[in-house]
Chains A and B, each alone.
Chain A
Amino acid sequence: MSALSHSGAGPWLGQWPQWSTQLTQAAFALSVFLYYRYQPSPLHGQQFVKLLKRLLTGPGLLALGCVGLHLLEVAAQDEPVFSSNSLFFTTIYTVNLGLFVIFLARTNYAWRALVLFRASPRLQKEWTLFEVLLGATLLFRLVGIDPPAYIGTPIVVLLGLFGVYLSGHQKWVAYLSQRDKWRAVLLQAGLLLGVLIFVQYFRVTQVDPQLIAPRPQYAFLLLTAFFSAFYALMGLMVTFFNLPISDIVEQRRNEILRLQRLTQIIQRGQTSGEVYRILLESAAQTVNADAAWLDLDPAHTGVEASQATLCLNFSPEQARELRARLTTYDLPEGEFITNDLHLRPGFEGTLQHYRSLLQLPLRGLHYNYGMLYLLKEEPHTFHHEDLSILQTFTGQAVLSIENLELVQTSLANQRTQEELKIASQVQDSLIPKNLPTDNWFDISSHSLAAKEVGGDFYDFLHLPGRRLAVIIGDVSGKGVTAAFHMAQMKGIFHSLMQENPLAKNERDKFPVPSKFMAQANTALIHCLEKSSFITSSLYIIDYEQGGFVFARAGHCHTLYYHAMREEVFYFESQGLGLGIIRNDSYEKHIKNQFYDYSPGDVMVIYTDGIVEARGGDGTDEYGEDRLKLRLEESYFQEAHDIKNFILDDLNAFTSGHPIHDDQTLLVIKFKSAQPLP
């Protein structure tokens, strides 16, 4: 290093203080480096290529400036004024030195951004140390004493090694895409060239006798130049040797991206058709297939048979032909690879140029959705690794399809719920809200369905001559089916209880209960399924006669309180449910029962949901006996209070158990005659 020492100021300028030149040089270098040190980082996000490009088009061009000035200098040699003019020569040298310092500062701080990209705190500290040590080399010349070679050289070599160590930090290369890597290689090569141009220039001019400037900050320039060049070289090498690996990385990344695309489809609410299409395209791209087709199973995918084949670079006719040939081979149901299709008999003709075939089923939880076929023109091109990545694809596609189905099912369920709600409202409107009122009786009612809609019903109808028809019924089964029949029964009630104008006497104008039941039975034959039946009781209460007539068609026994005898009992009468016998013989199985009531009598009418309500350990039934006891305790109250008394007891009995059948309870209390207002 000291061997390169220069003699100092030339005779032309007289005695130029060498220390001032050196101080200026050092100050310039220091200020330029410090200026760039505190500039915002030249790296924005992960735009590494942009950074390299700006570096080459900015400071990189300074090298061209250096070459330009040198050429000017050479050209000026011919002019007598400039020829052998040390001042001119030295001026150009000084300018070039300045340009070199700027170039080095820019490059060094660009490399800092790259070295420190996602760096650990330790590396950041190491970099700062490197900077401080580099700065310290500026002092070599300033203090005026050149360290002897045996001290200076090891220091410079050690710092050089430090630079080499820092040049190993090329993490950013991994973040380059395949295309950017090529660009980075070229840009770094350009920068290396820039450094070389400067170095070459100074190597030549340094030994030129015309140079009258003092020696530059050799150690500092050498080290920064070395680091600039070495980092660029390392980066170039790393990028270059990364190229083949990045191909695989790129491929994996694309596979992940395609998988993501498949996954996102469901979130965008796309159709199953789109899922299949994307599956076909992604699968073909991933393994670089020349052609592909997808056979969907119309039974499980809901697609039309005519659209069950999706093709890529392939026609449905070709697919049909190839499939027909494949079936003669009796291929396995699952995954299958053949890499020598062309050698197998039966595959001659138009399809002969496809030599490799991969077959993969779309496996669902319960069945296969279809079969995916991929074709390549080159033989021996499908591998078992292809199968595994493709299986991930088909798995993801099937998952998407099944999710789509789930979404659709839940939507359908929601609709059904809505419709049930409407049905519930409709049924509610079928139950009489305004109970009949008159001064000779008092009625209270209660009804509760086990599900949204139920099979219990009751209704009232005023008949001429101060008569009242009361009907109660229970359709076997629960839910929607029962609700339909309940509505039917209500219709039958209202249509049969019409006045018959042909009747010979007043009594026959309306059907007696047994007649009504027989007619209702006939009407129901055609609309009740074989295993369903309806139980019902119809009461026609005649105030003027002070009595009622009723028929019980398999319905629960009527509970009665007889005021004069002060006795509670069940009416024991015979009668068959409706819809059990489906011919005219029904009439033989139903009877009318007449009864005279007196004021204060109470009639309790109900469905089996009351007496069969479960309580206790879940097998106990509420029962007729308990119901009878409750009436014995409450007969003296108003109808409304009797009903509540019974219901409170029922609720206490069933508490903690879900109601499993519809419940209906009617309480009718006969009153003594009050004069009409």
Chain B
Amino acid sequence: MKVTAQPSADTLTLLLDGELDASSAIVLDTELAKPDILNYRKVLIDCAKLSYISSAGLGVFISHLQRFQDANVKLVFFNMQEKVFNVFEILGLDALMTIVPSLTEAEAA
């Protein structure tokens, strides 16, 4: 699992590459837990290369959800593979998080 951060003016894009499971969840958590991440208006998660997400991986997003909302930072997922989207959907997260098909929609969101 590789996490690449691409900051721009008011948006931070995180590229996830690989399987997000219990061991790689720590890497992502470290990235999301950085205090200055709340200075961005938007955090975009590019899931194009995310092939699998476990409950521990979901837990990372869930644990930061409230913090992002409180700081008025928008968390947007895009380019999500169907298999991964199913996991979000079954858990009911699709109603709670913004999941859009592509970068264009993500930037517009």
State the A residues within 8 Å of B (CB): 476-477, 530-533, 535, 553-557, 574-577, 579-582, 589, 608, 619
Nearest to A590 among chain B residues (CB) is B92
User: Which of A530, A575, A608 is the one whose CB lies under 8 Å from B92?
Assistant: A575
Which interface residue of A532, A557, A577, A589 has the most chain B CB atoms within 10 A?
A577
Interchain CB contact under 8 A, B22 and A589: no
Interchain CB contact under 8 A, B90 and A477: no
Interchain CB contact under 8 A, B91 and A535: yes
A580-B56 CB under 8 A given contacts A554-B90, A554-B91: no
* Cβ contacts under 8 Å, B108 to chain A: none
Interchain CB contact under 8 A, A576 and B95: yes
User: Which of A476, A553, A574, A581 is the one whose CB lies under 8 Å from B55?
Assistant: A476
User: Which of B25, B60, B93 is the one whose CB lies under 8 Å from A580?
Assistant: B93
Q: Give min CB distance, B63 to chain A, whole Å.
A: 4
* Cβ contacts under 8 Å, A581 to chain B: 96
| Residue-wise interface mask of B (38-74) relative to A, using a CB-CB cutoff of 8 A (1 in contact, 0 not) | 0000000000000110011011101101100000000
* Cβ contacts under 8 Å, A575 to chain B: 92
Q: Give min CB distance, B1 to chain A, whole Å.
A: 15
Q: Give the CA-CA distance A519 to B17 in the complex, in Å.
A: 38
Interchain CB contact under 8 A, B62 and A533: yes
Interchain CB contact under 8 A, A477 and B95: no
Q: Give the CA-CA distance A589 to B96 in the complex, in Å.
A: 9
Q: Give min CB distance, A622 to chain B, whole Å.
A: 13
Q: Indicate the size class of the contact surface on chain B.
A: 20 to 34
| Residue-wise interface mask of B (5-31) relative to A, using a CB-CB cutoff of 8 A (1 in contact, 0 not) | 000000000000000001001000100
* Cβ contacts under 8 Å, A533 to chain B: 55, 58-59, 62, 91
* Cβ contacts under 8 Å, A608 to chain B: 55
Q: Give min CB distance, A203 to chain B, whole Å.
A: 99
Given contacts A533-B91, A574-B95, A580-B62, 12 further A-B contacts (CB under 8 A): A477-B59, A530-B63, A533-B58, A533-B62, A554-B91, A557-B90, A576-B91, A577-B91, A580-B91, A580-B92, A580-B96, A619-B51
* Cβ contacts under 8 Å, A619 to chain B: 51-52
Q: Give min CB distance, B84 to chain A, whole Å.
A: 12
Nearest to A475 among chain B residues (CB) is B55
Q: Give the CA-CA distance A531 to B92 in the complex, in Å.
A: 16
* Cβ contacts under 8 Å, B29 to chain A: 531
* Cβ contacts under 8 Å, A582 to chain B: 66
Q: Give min CB distance, A624 to chain B, whole Å.
A: 9
State the B residues within 8 Å of A (CB): 22, 25, 29, 51-52, 55-56, 58-60, 62-63, 65-66, 90-93, 95-96
A476-B59 CB under 8 A given contacts A556-B90, A580-B93: yes
Interchain CB contact under 8 A, B59 and A531: yes
Interchain CB contact under 8 A, A589 and B90: no
* Cβ contacts under 8 Å, A530 to chain B: 59, 62-63
Q: Give the CA-CA distance A507 to B66 in the complex, in Å.
A: 36
A576-B90 CB under 8 A given contacts A531-B56, A533-B55, A533-B58: no
* Cβ contacts under 8 Å, B60 to chain A: 531
Q: Give the CA-CA distance A647 to B65 in the complex, in Å.
A: 37
* Cβ contacts under 8 Å, B52 to chain A: 619
Q: Give the CA-CA distance A363 to B32 in the complex, in Å.
A: 40
* Cβ contacts under 8 Å, A531 to chain B: 25, 29, 56, 59-60, 62-63
Q: Give min CB distance, A29 to chain B, whole Å.
A: 94
* Cβ contacts under 8 Å, B25 to chain A: 531
A-B contact pairs, 9 of them (CB 8 A): A530-B59, A531-B63, A533-B55, A533-B58, A535-B91, A554-B92, A556-B90, A577-B91, A619-B51
Nearest to A621 among chain B residues (CB) is B83
Q: Give min CB distance, B58 to chain A, whole Å.
A: 7
Q: Give min CB distance, A251 to chain B, whole Å.
A: 56
Q: Give the CA-CA distance A86 to B59 in the complex, in Å.
A: 124
Q: Give the CA-CA distance A581 to B93 in the complex, in Å.
A: 10
Nearest to A585 among chain B residues (CB) is B96
Interchain CB contact under 8 A, A476 and B95: no
Nearest to A474 among chain B residues (CB) is B55
Q: Give min CB distance, A673 to chain B, whole Å.
A: 35
Q: Give the CA-CA distance A575 to B95 in the complex, in Å.
A: 9
A477-B96 CB under 8 A given contacts A530-B62, A533-B62: no
Q: Give the CA-CA distance A575 to B92 in the complex, in Å.
A: 5
Interchain CB contact under 8 A, B92 and A574: yes
Q: Give min CB distance, A227 to chain B, whole Å.
A: 84
Q: Which 10 residue pairs spanning A and B have beta carbons closest together?
A: A576-B92, A531-B59, A476-B55, A530-B63, A531-B63, A554-B91, A577-B91, A554-B92, A580-B62, A575-B92
A532-B92 CB under 8 A given contacts A477-B22, A580-B65, A582-B66: no
Q: Give min CB distance, B92 to chain A, whole Å.
A: 3
Q: Give min CB distance, B61 to chain A, whole Å.
A: 9
Q: Give min CB distance, A604 to chain B, whole Å.
A: 16
Q: Give the CA-CA distance A553 to B90 in the complex, in Å.
A: 9
Nearest to A583 among chain B residues (CB) is B66
Q: Give the CA-CA distance A582 to B67 in the complex, in Å.
A: 12
Q: Give the CA-CA distance A310 to B12 in the complex, in Å.
A: 58
A589-B95 CB under 8 A given contacts A531-B60, A554-B90, A556-B90: yes
* Cβ contacts under 8 Å, A553 to chain B: 92
* Cβ contacts under 8 Å, B55 to chain A: 476-477, 533, 608
A477-B56 CB under 8 A given contacts A580-B65, A580-B96: yes
Which interface residue of A531, A533, A575, A619 has the most chain B CB atoms within 10 A?
A531
User: Which of B51, B56, B93 is the one whose CB lies under 8 Å from A476?
Assistant: B56
Q: Give the CA-CA distance A532 to B52 in the complex, in Å.
A: 18
Interchain CB contact under 8 A, A576 and B56: no
* Cβ contacts under 8 Å, A579 to chain B: 62
